[in-house]
Chain A
């Protein structure tokens, strides 16, 4: 049984159809890359999976670990092991980063019937991860993402992912806005978490990231559908030729 199974998913925002019959299966331990032109629905897919308000499915199903995720609130999906690294991480003035991380981790642990992490264990875990991701201790003392640069916000997303240890992480353009060094740091962060049971959906516009996070499968999303699926070489092909042929295919279909 795949970890994530999306069957004929239709979804939209404000009555506008954006995902139009999307089918995708991700097995445990696999890394799938999704590439596609601007506006093709990549972030929409990410939001539908995470359960953002207003991103309602109109048809189809999504099974995560065999459960229909549309029965679950966003926090329940997170506790079940789904993680979304946002394309545009939000700043939350007044909420301390540490409070945020601890509340999130403990809420998930509680829902899974695990004991809360002790303060020293929690601090140790966060500090260790921050170090490997090149995140300053001083940044951890700020409110969530407040005053972070674009690249720092993306690294902070990976920090959260590493701390929360999801079963499936959806990375929505985590590479955009990163300099070359930061890209390697983030890719290393992801690769360290790659395990037999952990899966990733990596949404990206650039083949470059996939040199570091080598995908098992590459999909092309166009106009709300997967129009082509291949191996990692598909990303190189796209880099060379662009999306023109797939956009026509999607329109015809």
Chain B
């Protein structure tokens, strides 16, 4: 008998759990009718495709369907104890002076946030609040930049609870870096945070996101940031993923960058059991200069995937992509980088370099750099390497009296330096180097 069987993408316990979560929560998620419709459309993308798996090209190395065993329930609003914990969150920044906006289990906590005496031209707030208030301008921006067909983004849109809503007026210079502190309190729960940041023309700002939580709890985070960088603006973005050892973390940065801008983004991935760090950048205007860098340090059985898609549509833009990963034990590091140069994007100058340093025979690196060039007058290149510590260099150091572990630490720091040196903010660079040094100290 030949029966028509409907292909259902929802098969696994985690997929069923996500569908149940949505069904139960949809009526109380923030936002008016338009937002609800957006959520529903996004949810349908998920229903159609299910969780991404290894036969989906962009998710080839991060089979979320296999890696995500169950869907955690939505995190309840943080209680007093969770808030108390969050006081020290973000400490990895050392003494970098920032304006902190604190989110615990995905919810904005005004009493821990620094919203007083805002610089001229700076507006900060909670996304949930803005959606509840029916901020039309804001909901109009929602989903404009993030790729709607990406299932991680779709789930974020369907289930987003809160996040930061930030506007910087044209010409404004925001001296203090804005620090979005995302902390999980350690409940076996899930949070879906969505942040919208719009930086006006010629404005200047630095935006740091840090994501952290305690070890020993399999919490789940899906964080998305949509960023608009106006013409001539200068924006530095830093994302620190320092989740607890059992956490599942999916991050998306989707940015549209105007012409004659300067834009830097740096991803520092050090925590979490399974991490997917997606970066989608659209260079729409001409003559923008961008630095796109990252450092990943993994050990034990950590898995982290950085997937970058850079689209050059404007003319004469320059982008430098440098991603370094240090992989120990049985860790698995993935870097997929795609640079697309559109037909009109003449004189694009894009160079992508990715290197993995393997500290153990069992560690694994997958590097997939790609160039898709449709313009003829461009300078583009990419390179990828993976290898172990250079024994000859190590011997030279040891012959001077430097013990094995210290010699390796020096070489690892030197290896990461090429990426970290791209951070112009000296105190932040120091703080991350310090974090690297601590990571190295805990090596076996």
Contact = CB atoms under 8 A, between A and B. Distances in A.
Interface of A: 50-53, 73-75, 77-79, 83-84, 86, 89-90, 92-95, 99-100, 103-105, 107-108, 111, 143, 160, 164
Contact of A90 (B392, B403, B418): B392
Contacts of B398: 51, 73-75, 78
Q: Which 5 A-B pairs have the closest CB atoms?
A: A94-B414, A78-B401, A108-B401, A104-B400, A74-B398
B414 A92 contact: yes
A92 B397 contact: yes
Interface stretch (B111-119, B405-413, B424-432): B405-413
A159 to B, nearest CB: 11
Contacts of A107: 401-403, 406
A90 B415 contact: no
Contact of A99 (B392, B396, B407, B410): B410
19 contacts: A50-B399, A51-B398, A52-B395, A73-B398, A73-B403, A74-B398, A75-B399, A75-B404, A77-B399, A78-B399, A92-B396, A92-B397, A94-B414, A95-B413, A100-B397, A103-B402, A104-B401, A107-B401, A107-B406
Nearest to A91: B393
Given A73-B404, A74-B399, A103-B406, A90 B393 contact: yes
A33 to B, nearest CB: 21
A229 to B, nearest CB: 27
Contact of B401 (A52, A53, A90, A111): A111
B397 A104 contact: yes
B391 interface: yes
Contacts of B170: none
Interface of B: 391-393, 395-404, 406-407, 410-411, 413-415, 417-418
B396 A51 contact: no
Contacts of B396: 86, 89-90, 92
B401 A100 contact: no
Contacts of B403: 73, 75, 107
Chain B CB within 10 Å — which of A73, A84, A104 has the most?
A104
Contacts of B411: 92, 94-95
Contacts of A99: 410
B397 A53 contact: no
A95 B414 contact: yes
B402 A104 contact: yes
Contacts of A94: 411, 413-415, 417-418
Contacts of B404: 73, 75
A160 B392 contact: no
B279 to A, nearest CB: 25
Chain A CB within 10 Å — which of B400, B411, B413 has the most?
B400
